[in-house]
Every structure is written in C-alpha cells, then in structure tokens.
Structure 1
Amino acid sequence: MEKNLKSLIDVKNLDYGDVRYEKNKTTRISMENEELKNINSSYREGGHLRLYRDGRKVVNSFTSFAEAEEMRDSLLSLAMRARSLDDEQKRLKKAPVHTDKVSIEPKSDPRDYSLADKKELLENYNDLALSREYVINTEFNYQDFHSRRTFINSEGAEISYELLGSYISGGIFGRNSDTVQVKRVSFGGYPEFSRLLDRDEEIEESCEILKQMLSAEPISPGSYPVILNPRLASVFIHEAFGHLSEADMIENNPSFREKLELGTRLGGENLNVIDDPTLEDRPGSYRYDDEGQKGKKTDLIKEGKLAGRLHSRNTASSFEEPISGNMRAVDCQYTPIIRMSNIYIAAGEDKPADLFDSIDQGYYLVNSKGGQTTGDQFTFGAEYGYRIEAGEKKEMVRDINMSGELFKTLENISMVADDLSFAEVGGCGKSSSGGSMQLNMFSGRGAPHTKIDSVTIGGK
C-alpha cells in the first residue's frame, strides 16, 4: 500500500504533497425511552490527498487508488488554473520528518465486545433511569471509533498510527407539575472500554440531582461573583478562549490578531492555560497529528500572558511561530484543520474551600448545558447551581445562563483551585473556511474549580 501512496505524490514541480490513508470502524447505538432508535456498525476505508504547487493548495478525498490517480491529475490542473485567479501563495513552515509506527493496546478493547454486549450495557443504564417515577423521557447513546492511519509526504515522512475511543452519553428528563428539567450523563473510555462498565451509582446520583432540580427555584438574574465547577470551567476555556487560540480562526482577522499578540496580558498571574496531546488516556491524546507532526504541549496562557497558539505548518509560517502539531481530521472525508487536543486550565494554589470562603453573596455553577460564542462574546448554560452566602453553599438553583465578554472575564478570574480534573468524554465541532462541519470526539478539556469575580447571570 505504501508504494501506491507514494506514487500519488511522486510528481514533478510539486512544492509539497501528502496523503493520508485510513481504515475506520464505528459502532453507534441510540435509545429513546424504551425504544431502540439505532444500532449499527460501519466500516470506511479511503484516503485524503493534499498537493501544493506554485503556492496553491488543492485537496480531495478518494476511496480507491485508481480513482486517486485520476483525481490527482485533476487537482494539479486546478492548481494551475488557480494561479491565475489568486495572488496569495501558501507556504509551509519547515518541519521535522518522522518515520514511526504507533499502536494502541488497551487492556479492555471495545472491539473485543459484541454489539449485543454494548446494547445490553446501554439498556441497563437507560432502564435504571426510567425506573424513577418523575423521569418522563430518556436519551442514551453509545459510540466507539477506531482508526488506523498511514501518513506519507513528499519530504520522506512515513507514519502509521491509531485512534481509539468509546463513550456513553445521554439525557434524563424529569417533570414536576409544569417544570421540566434535564440531567446530562457521560462516561468515556479513551481507550479503555472498561471505564464504561459498572456506572450504575452515577446514574442513580444523576437521577437524585434531577429530582432536586425539579423542586429548585430559578436563579435571580444579576451580576455576581461565581465559582465554576471543573466541568463548566473546562467548557468555558475550550469554547470561549480555545477556539481563538487556533491560528486559522484569527489568521485573516486583523482585529483579533492585534488583541491576541503573544505577550499580551489576558489575566492574573494565577491563570495558566495549556493544550497537551501527550497526556495519557485523555480524549484528545495522540502521538502524531494528521500533518505528520508530533503533538506537543503548548502553553497558551502563562502566568496571565498569552504565550502561544495552535498551528498548522501553514499558519506557523504565516505567524512566524513554532509548529504545535494540532492539525487533525475526523476521517478520510476531510482535510485536516487546526484542533485543540486536551486544553485545560492548570491547577492553581488555592483550596476549593478558599474560593467559597471568599464570596459573601454569589453562586456556585455546576456543569455545562450548551451555549454559544460569537467572537469574544459568550453565553453558556449551567445544568444547576447553588447560592453562596457568607462562604456557605446554600439551596440549589436552576435555569442558569452566564454571559460576558471573553477578555474582561479572563481578567476577572481571581482564584484557581488545586483540584484539576478532566472530562471523560471529548467532543468539538468546527468547520474550516468554506468547509463542512467536523465533529471530533477526540478533543479533551479540563479545569479545576475557578472563581470569576463578576459574571452576568440570566434566568431561563
């Protein structure tokens, strides 16, 4: 196969070329209430070709080598035509050339479990949630994905590597009179399938929290000091800041390039944000990206100052900054784009109790319930929360939305606890310029408890 792949990029007068070939297997199961909505196991094999000629990039996917050769010639012709239409030339930063083979060998591999085993596991959690009298609806989903990839480029790189992960996620919906609430659940195995087993206690705990949410009062709108629990803080840093650290998101935006110059102060000295694919057994962990570069730890914010950003070889050249190894594609249908790996707020020096003691009147917000960002503006929902009075956690509240401007909010992070934890399940949606959405399950996030001195809180 390697010989055939090499032939695709053995072209005269080529600036650069690479080809990625994949064998992917996906299993999906979904349930709604007691109904099995979907169960399937699928296989996809194919490749993706990138060619640079005279500073013009052309890309496409293929399913067979015969198709790929014809497609390559069409791409080269397209690159020649583009030369007369576009003055901008794309240049790749000089990069290390790797030859390596990387395999994943979990102790409990999802591929060793039958479809029936996975269905039974999902049904068990679903039935457990439905057994509560106040639960009116459930949605549970299972997915696993294995990808074996080969990457070859015209500079001599030859790499084979794997991705493997599985997860269960869902929602438990409850009703009390005219009040309806939903409690989200998620378990992840990256790569160990055994982490999805024996989670009955967490399902029962989620049901109990849902029961409390149904009788809780809505939060009072206003501006307050808040403490974000690790799951909500990790979503905040991923969505509100993390995407702006991806160089392709600001490459052609002069305003944000000015705001996000390296060395710019964004927060206090206690704020450190890192992206690190080298962490073990996290959703966003990997050895090589889909541009053939080793993933590496990148300090994004260090002691409150912008210290780095995430790059492709192209944007690293444009910004004249180091390659970070963050170019990734969901599968062979897509060209790689810059993606976070495991982004997290590093542990601080404060104890969680100290954060509570510092607040006279405020709120403790727990878990994420969706949201959106537009430039530097954000809005996030929290599943539930608790009122804080004189440092004490009081009654539960619900119907919570927090919103604000990113840079002011980063400045308002005054305390960071020492209890860093990571989300079990990854996930991130992003589209490239002019491209389709790529939903990537191999994207991790983490945070400790984090105090923000002032956040605008809205109700339902």
Structure 2
Amino acid sequence: MLDILYSAEEKALSLGASYAEARFHLLERQGVIARNDAIIGTTLASSRGIAIRVVFKGALGFSSTYSLSKEDVLKAVERAVSQAREASVHMKNQIIFSNEKLGRAKVSVIEKKKIDDLSTEEMINLLMDSWDKIKSADIHSKIPVYMQNLSWSKEYKVIVNSDGGFVESYVPRVFYFFNLVEYNDGNSINKWYEYAASGGSELAEEFVAKGRQYEDVYVLDKILRKAKPSPKGRMDVVLGDEIVGLLAHESSGHPSEADRILGREAAQAGKSFIKPTSIGTRIGSEIVSVVDDPTIPGSNGFFLYDDEAVPARKKYLYKNGVINEYLHNRYTGYLFGKGSNGSARAMDAFSEPIIRMSNTYIEPRDHSLDELIKDIDYGIYMKSYMEWNIDDERWGNRYVGLEAYLIENGEIKDLVKNPVLEATTGEIYSSIDAVGKNLVFHAGTCGKGEPSQGVPVWFGGPPIRIRKVRIL
C-alpha cells in the first residue's frame, strides 16, 4: 500500500504539482437495528479507496478511486492535477499551505475486547434484553415504539504527503442509538439519545445494558402525567450538561471554523458571527472557556494527527470569555498567519479534508449542581432538550426543554412542560455566573460540507447557571 501511495505522490510532482497528498481510507461497519421486539435490519458495510489532493500553480485539485491498483490510482492523480491545472488560470488568490512540522507516526486505539468479536447474534441479544427491561418498567404510560441501533466500526488510514508527512492510524468505535416513545391520555413524548466512543466491543454492553434509557423511561412517564405549564419571562436558568454540550458545539465550535468565518460555508450551512478580526473580542463571562480537543483518549472524535498529518492539540476557542482561537487547516492557517492547529478531517476516501470539530466542550470549574441551584429564588433547571435551533450565523439560539424543573427558594420543585430558552450567543455566554465541576460528554455525528460529510464528535460540559434570560 505504501508503495502505491508514494508512487501517487511522485506522479503528481512529476506532472508539475507543488504539493501532493495520498490517503488510503478504509471504513468497515456492522450493526443491527431493532424496533421493540423485532429486528428490522442489519448492516454490513465496507468503504475503501485512495484520495488524492494536489496543488498546481496555486489551485487545488482532488480525485479519488475505489480501485487499489497502481494504474487506477495514477489515473486519479492525473485527474486531480488536470482539475487543478484548469482551475489555476482562474485563481485570483493562490492556495498556499502553512509550513508545519508534520507527523511521522503510527496511532492505534487499544481495544480491551476486539471490536469485531462483537457478533451480530450478540448485538441482537443485547438489544432484545434492553427491550425486555424497557417494556417491564413499572410506569403508567404505554410504550408504542422503542427503536435501537447498535453497531461497531473500524477506521484505518494511511496518509502521505510531499511535505514529509506520514501517518498510519486505526480507530475502532462503538455506536448505540435509541429512540423511546411513550403515550398517555392522548399525549405522546419521545427521547432519543446517542452513545459513541472509540475503543473495543466492551463498550457495547456499557451503552446498551447500562445506559440512561432505563432512567429516561420513568422520566418520560412523569413528564406526561405530572409536568405543569412552564413559567415565562426573564429568570435564572440552570442548563444541564446535555444542553451545555450542544451549546458549545453549535454556538462556539461551528462559528470558530476558519473556513466558515471566511464565508466558504455561506451557501450551505451559513456564515459566522465571528469575523476574521475577532480574536481578542469579549463574547462572555470571564469564567467561561470553550475547548476543542481531539486528543481525549476513548473519545468519539479522537485523533492525534489530522488528515493533513498535522499534530492535533487542545484548543481554547473561547478563553476566559474572550474569542481566542479559530479551527484551522494548513490553508486557513497560512491566511491568518497562525499555522494549522490540526483540524482537517475527511469522512472517507471520497471526501476532501475540511475543517472540523472533534470533542468540543465548556471547561468545568468548581460548583456542584446543588450550589448552582441553591442561589436561585425562582427559575428553571433545564436538564435535557426536546428540540433546538440556531440561526445561520450561530447567533440566535433556541432550546426547548424536555426534562425540566421549577426552582423555588433554592430547591428543585415540580416538572415543567417544554420551557423555551431563546437568546443570542452573546447574551447566553455573558449571563453565565457559575460553572459546574462535573464534565459529561455526549456523542454525535457532525455534518458539514457540500457534498455533506458526517464525522464522529463528542460535545459536553458541566451544568451552568445563567442569570435573567428569557423563557418563552
């Protein structure tokens, strides 16, 4: 394989490219989908290929091939160079990559139990046992639907480039999703949730047999039967870690992507309220810092080198309430004069590396949940969300609570129904006056690009307290 990749690099350079990159990318996935007591589908998928990226006279070219034959790979190189050559005559501003000390390394995630030891039969048994526990819950509501999806994946990459980069990586992951629907007295409610992490098949039992769904089944029943109308107006709010993680991802991570800041995403996913000159601008309270860190062991967004072979590191997007750093690849790193911070990722062999988040979270501080609650005379504890929305510039936020409680005189009281928090990103971060100490991560698949690329991520944080925000 290495011989083919290096041959591709040499071919591109011989055709006049100033930069050449070849990436072998293999993805394997196996899974089971269940609805209540029925298995409604199984998956067994494999995607492999070689991606070629070149720079020719300041223009970027990309091509890929399913074939691993040397002849077909070299044809892909010719296509990439041809594209770049044709584009080069129209380039007003040349593509230039920042100079980086690139990695020469092999990275492999350790599996306590081999990922592919998890058979289809074992996955079916786990899902059916989960259904038995859910349907046996002592609740008043009916459970018409309990959807589950359990799968494992293996991602193997070899990246070489003409600037000296060489990275070979292996990351196995386990994914589990459930959607629980309950019905009572003409009303229905649902909760969906996703678990995912890098590691071995030992994660499957942790997610399916010991997951939060066995608490959620009782919570949903109580919401249907006991939740009271939510108060409205300006009040203090405590947000649970699930919403805090989403807030960090959507209102810090996405607007900090340098390509989005430059307008590249404008026609697909929108712009950013952050401008190229916003570094050093205050966005929130001094106690708030937002981090993106792909190096967290066991995380869903784990990597030690990005797909340009740049070493990954922890990045403070917001630091002590100030916009501190953007997510960069080598191109935007050159434009901003900051260099890359290892944020380029590709979904598969048929996608080009673009700027992506990894594991994005609000950094914890020193308050317990009880301490956050006890200083509120009247407000809401919004523990989880039912739905959310954010505008195209990542400034206007809307979060609708699912499990939410009234707070009176520093104590959690009754469940309240679907409180709606609506505020700007600046208002939310500026109104945070206390940050919890218990950091919790949640899994997701982040979508970006055209054609769309979905990559595994975590988002998280501790509970936070926000003063005098609007509840609709």
TM-score band (shorter)? over 0.9
Could you tell me which residue of structure 1 aligns to residue 453 of structure 2? 438
Residue 140 of structure 1, aligned match among 142, 148, 151: 148
Aligned to 2:281: 264
Q: How does 1:275-286 map to 2 (within 5 A)?
A: 275-286=292-303
What percent of counterpart residues are identical? 25
Give 3-state SS (helix, strand or coil) of 1:356's partner. helix
Could you tell me how far apart the structure 2 residues matched to 1:48 and 1:456 are?
48
Pair 1:204-2:232 in alignment: no
Alignment of 1:304-453 (within 5 A): 304-374=321-391, 375=393, 376-423=395-442, 425-431=443-449, 435-441=450-456, 443-453=457-467
Tell me the equivalent position of 1:237.
Answer: 248
Structure 1 runs of 4+ aligned residues shifted over 4 Å read none
Asked if 1 retains the 8 angstrom alpha-carbon contact of 2:421 and 2:471, the reply is yes
**Match of 2:354, as an amino acid?**
I
Q: Per-residue deviation at 1:106?
A: 1.1
Cα distance, 1:454 vs. partner?
Answer: 3.1
Distance 1:78 1:203 in 2: 50
Q: Is the 8 A contact 1:14 1:53 kept in 2?
A: yes
2:259 aligned to 219, 236, 248, which one? 248
What is the Cα deviation at residue 93 of structure 1? 0.4
Q: Deviations over 1:155-183 (max 9, x none)?
A: 12221001211121111100111211112
Structure 1 Cα separation of the partners of residues 421 and 276 of structure 2: 23
- Name the stretch that deviates more: 382-391 or 83-92: 83-92
Q: Which moved more, 1:367-376 or 1:382-391?
A: 367-376
Separation (CA, whole Å) in 2 of partners of 1:304 and 1:183: 32
Distance 2:274 2:363 in 1: 24
TM (norm. structure 1) is 0.93
In the alignment, is residue 114 of structure 1 matched against residue 128 of structure 2?
no
Give CA deviations for 1:354-373 in whole Å, capped at 9, x if unaligned: 21122111100012334232
Q: Distance in 2 between matches of 1:383 and 1:60?
A: 45
Deviates more, 1:274-283 or 1:227-236: 274-283
Q: Answer whether contact 1:263 1:307 (CA < 8 A) is retained.
A: yes
Q: Deviations over 1:206-246 (max 9, x none)?
A: 21111111111242343322101111111111112210111
172-181 or 259-268, larger mean C-alpha shift = 259-268
**Post-superposition offset of 1:260:** 6.0
Inter-CA distance 302–43: structure 2 relative to 1 (3 Å threshold)? same
| 3-state DSSP of counterpart to 1:71 | helix
- Note the C-alpha offset of 1:200: 4.8
Which of 35, 39, 44 matches 1:41? 44
Distance 1:202 1:97, change over 3 A: closer
1:217 aligns with 2:217: no
1:190 aligns with 2:198: yes
- In 2, Cα distance between the equivalents of 1:259 and 1:419? 33
Is the 8 Å Cα contact of residues 130 and 137 (structure 1) preserved in structure 2? no
Report Cα offsets for 1:352-405 as digits up to 9, x if no partner.
Answer: 222112211110001233423221112223322001111110111232332221
Contact 2:53 2:61 (C-alpha < 8 Å) held by counterparts: yes
- DSSP 3-state at the match of 1:213: helix
Structure 2's unaligned 5+ residue stretches are none
The Cα of 1:255 is off from its aligned counterpart by 7.6
Alpha carbons of structure 1 residues 260 and 106: separation in structure 2 relative to 1, 3 Å: farther
Instruction: Judge which range, 317-326 or 131-140, deviates more.
Output: 131-140
Aligned to 1:29: 32
Deviation at 1:119, TM superposition (A): 1.8
Is the alpha carbon distance of 1:204 and 1:421 closer, same or farther for their aligned partners in structure 2, counting shifts above 3 Å? closer
CA–CA separation in structure 2 for the residues paired with 1:436 and 1:337: 11
Q: Conserved in 2, the CA contact under 8 Å of 1:349 and 1:416?
A: yes
> Is the contact made by 1:289 and 1:325 (CA closer than 8 Å) also made in structure 2?
yes
In structure 1, distance between residues paired with 2:433 and 2:219: 29
Query: Structure 2 length as normaliser, TM-score?
Result: 0.91
Q: Does structure 1 retain, via aligned residues, the 8 Å contact 2:23–2:160?
A: yes
Over 3 Å counting, the alpha-carbon distance change for 1:290 and 1:370 in structure 2 is farther
1:227 aligned partner: 238
- 2: distance between equivalents of 1:426 and 1:449? 19
Helix, strand or coil at the partner of 2:444: coil
Cα distance between partner residues in 2 of 1:283 and 1:352:
26
Partner residue, 1:274: 291
Residue 468 of structure 2 corresponds to residue 454 of structure 1: yes
CA contact (8 A) 1:130 1:136 kept: no
1:348–1:356 CA distance, 2 compared to 1 (3 A)? same
Could you tell which deviates more after superposition, 397-406 or 158-167?
397-406
Provide the C-alpha distance between the structure 2 equivalents of 1:228 and 1:184, rounded to a whole number of angstroms. 18
- Letter of the structure 2 residue corresponding to residue 360 of structure 1: D
1:138 is displaced (CA, Å) by 1.3
* Contact 2:21/2:54, CA 8 A, preserved across alignment: yes
